[in-house]
Amino acid sequence: MKHTKRWLFTGIAVIAIAGLGYVARANHFQTHFLNNTEIDGINVGGQTAGAAAETINVKLSHQVYTVTDQSKILTTFTAKEIGITPYTANQIKQLISNQNAYAWPAHMTRASANSHRLGLKAINKAKLSAVSNRVVRLANNAKRTPTRNAKLVYNNQSFVIKRQVYGQQVNRDSVKQSVTNAVANHQSQIDLKTAYIKPTILQSNASLKKARQTAIKLSTNKITYTLANHSVTIPESEIASWLTTKNARISVSKKAVESYLTKLSYKYGTIHKTRHFKTYSGAYVNVPAGLYGWHIKVTAETPRLSKFVLAGKPVTRTPVLQGTGYHKNGQDIGTTYVEVSKSSQHMWVHKNGNVIISTDVVTGKPPRGTTPSGVYVVWSKQRNATLRGQNDDGSDYASPVSYWMPVDATGVGIHDSPWQPQYGGTWYVSHGSHGCVNTPPSVMAKVYANVPLKTPVIIY
């Protein structure tokens, strides 16, 4: 009986001592990290917050990261270069307060190690951007295949989804992400391949497949332009060639629409065209283009046409036009116009098919002041104007006139000229104007009254 009691007392004593040891160790880990605890991959087990901070910061101060490209070193940088700043004891002390000190027996082997990461919080954004920009510059994107999303294309009279391209180009954001991931995962080697820009829309994308069906429907829509007695329906294949996708949504190529409208304008517009003109004498002459004429205002019509294409509803319209002389019936110069013959030194004013004024004139003195040939337009009218310029000898002139009707963009116009003693014949050869059509004052008032703005003026 005495023997049994002795063993009982011994057992109680051992348990008490062990309990006291357990509590003592638990108290120790109130201020120290549990065994095998790691912070950013660095073992700080058993250390205080201050000691752990010193251990980590020593490691960080010597950390070098290497960026490789196809097994070759592209560049290196240090932890300091990306702004991984030293940690303070207070930052790390919080980790100790969060650990379960009484679980210390479970942390006696590495299999049960605690792992903490602080690296992501320590990177300086501005410095990381600077390093990333350096990597992008050294990567030389110009020599790399660009990444491309899957997209809708029109090829061989049908819509197909062109598969994505996995390229080798990088950008600042993709490099920043790769560097950040490497730091977070305690990797000192960064393969540039992990920073390759990845396509965001793949060939299997459901929205892209839906866009293909929409494009097929939109291409069959009927859009018709009426242009000076012409009716032009845009071919289905033309509309189809404008359709593509942006972020898996149908869009219209602005460049393609502009190209189509430019060609349409050139075909039907008149601003750039030489006219085969029947003169007063009955002979035909070719008169080059001038200011008179119209064309499609491509910059204004492009967004409108693009909108109609995406709307998918039939439409018939006249496009936005600019210039003068547009007539729905296809008429160009018409029956009301001013005709000036330089060889005859004569001007006729035609109104509704009848000549209401016929007068000799004086045109520009050759060769410097020769009146330019072309189909022009009366774009302004002004009473009591002063015309200014330079004489052949370089001196300045200022000529007051009672009636002024400019017709081109260089200062040529029709006006009275009280300084001219005679008109017609060959007087212009030695006494011609600086380019304007000098008209007898006795006639000019009638010309001014009978020639409204936007009247075409044919000079040949």
pLDDT of amino acid 25: 81
pTM of this structure:
0.70
Mean pLDDT, rounded, for 266-294: 97
pLDDT of amino acid 112: 55
pLDDT tens digit string along 56-68?
888 877 889 999 9
Residue 8 has pLDDT above 80, yes or no: no
> Which residues, 6 or more positions from 289, have their beta carbon under 8 angstroms from its beta carbon?
271, 272, 273, 274, 275, 374, 375
Least confident of 9-23, 331-345, 423-437: 9-23
Residue 16 has pLDDT above 70, yes or no: no
pLDDT tens digit string along 103-158?
878 776 655 567 776 655 568 999 999 999 999 999 999 999 999 999 999 999 99
Among 345, 327, 340, 424, which residue's Cα sits nearest to residue 378? Answer: 340
More confident residue, 26 or 447: 447
pLDDT of amino acid 159: 96
Bridge partner list, 375: 289, 458
Alpha-carbon span 15 to 9, nearest angstrom: 10
Chain mean pLDDT for the chain: 91
Q: Please pick, among 295, 346, 415, 434, the residue that the annotation labels catalytic.
A: 415
Mean pLDDT, rounded, for 285-307: 98
pLDDT tens digit string along 68-95?
999 999 999 999 899 887 778 888 888 8
pLDDT of amino acid 143: 93
Alpha-carbon span 195 to 178, nearest angstrom: 6
Q: Please pick, among 32, 295, 434, 436, the residue that the annotation labels catalytic.
A: 436
pLDDT of amino acid 345: 98
Alpha-carbon span 286 to 194, nearest angstrom: 68
434 is catalytic: no
- Give kind and range of the element (H or E) at residue 340: strand 337-341
pLDDT tens digit string along 313-335?
999 999 999 999 999 999 999 99
Mean pLDDT, rounded, for 1-18: 61
Q: With beta carbons less than 8 A apart as the criterion, state whether 256 and 154 touch.
A: no
Residues in the chain: 460
More confident residue, 138 or 55: 138
Which tokens in the block code for residue 395?
């001196």
Tokens 């337009």 -> residue: 377
More confident residue, 284 or 16: 284
What domains appear along the chain, each with residue ranges and CATH number? 2-63+80-120 (no CATH), 206-269+296-321 (3.10.20.800), 337-459 (2.40.440.10)
Bridge partner list, 278: 284
Percentage, residues of the chain above pLDDT 90? 74
Residue 403 has φ and ψ, to the nearest 5°, of -135, 130
More confident residue, 417 or 28: 417
For 48-88, give the DSSP string: -HHHHHHHHHHHHHT-EEEEEETTEEEEEEETTTTT-PPPP
pLDDT tens digit string along 205-232?
999 999 999 999 999 999 999 999 999 9
Mean pLDDT, rounded, for 363-382: 96
pLDDT of amino acid 119: 52
> Which residues, 6 or more positions from 190, have their beta carbon under 8 angstroms from its beta carbon?
65, 66, 67, 68, 178, 179, 182
Among 159, 331, 340, which residue's Cα sits nearest to residue 250? Answer: 159
Mean pLDDT, rounded, for 412-439: 97
Work out the burial of residue 275: count CB atoms within 10 Å of its CB; fewer than 13 is exposed, 13-18 middle, 19 or more buried: buried
Q: With beta carbons less than 8 A apart as the criterion, state whether 255 and 242 touch.
A: no
- Give kind and range of the element (H or E) at residue 246: strand 243-246
* Interstrand relation of 151-155 and 158-162 (parallel, antiparallel or unpaired): antiparallel
**What does the DSSP 8-state code read for residue 288?**
-
Residue 341 has pLDDT above 80, yes or no: yes
Give residue 26's pLDDT band: very low, low, confident or very high (50, 70, 90): confident
pLDDT of amino acid 11: 60
Residue 268 has pLDDT above 80, yes or no: yes
272 is catalytic: no
Mean pLDDT, rounded, for 51-58: 86
| Three-state secondary-structure class, residue 384 | strand
- Give kind and range of the element (H or E) at residue 182: helix 172-184
Residue 395 has φ and ψ, to the nearest 5°, of -75, 155
Backbone region of residue 64 per phi and psi (left: phi > 0; alpha: psi in -120 to 50; beta: other values): beta
pLDDT of amino acid 4: 66
pLDDT of amino acid 109: 65
